[in-house]
Amino acid sequence: MARICVHEALGGGPVADMLLWKNSYGGGVVLIVSTILWFLFEKGGYNILAFVANNLLLLVSILFFWAKSASLLNRPLPPIPELDISEESVLIVAEEMQVWINHAFSVVRDIAVDGNVKTLIVVRLSLAYG
């Protein structure tokens, strides 16, 4: 059995360098950011949905004021790419959701119509503690 080093097991690239502290600046940034996020979410009682929503609101506000000031000061507008979702990707997502929703409906039918108490208990426990 061939032995490989830890650096190669982690991919051998810049991510492995940061995780193994060969790139001390990058490792320090990862440590500080992960500590701040841990403090916000675990100790501060902040949740991920509020965090994402607040950051998106901040981004939209910055871009709004940048665009308004650019028109007043004759500066270039902020570089925002055209965002477009293809019909193919929407259909793929819809098919995946259809599978999950049909599975949920079959579980509900097992519980409600067939009276499957074991499935009811499993669903109840997974919703309460999962």
Is the pTM higher than 0.85? The answer reads: no
Give the count of beta carbons closer than 10 Å to the beta carbon of residue 18: 19
How far apart are alpha carbons 13 and 3 in whole angstroms?
Answer: 18
Q: Write out the chain's pLDDT in tens, 130 residues.
A: 678 888 888 888 888 888 888 888 888 888 999 999 888 888 888 888 888 999 999 999 998 999 899 888 888 888 888 888 899 999 999 999 999 999 999 988 988 888 888 888 988 888 888 6
Give residue for tokens 């599978």: 99
Least Cα distance to 51 among 39, 62, 63 occurs for: 39
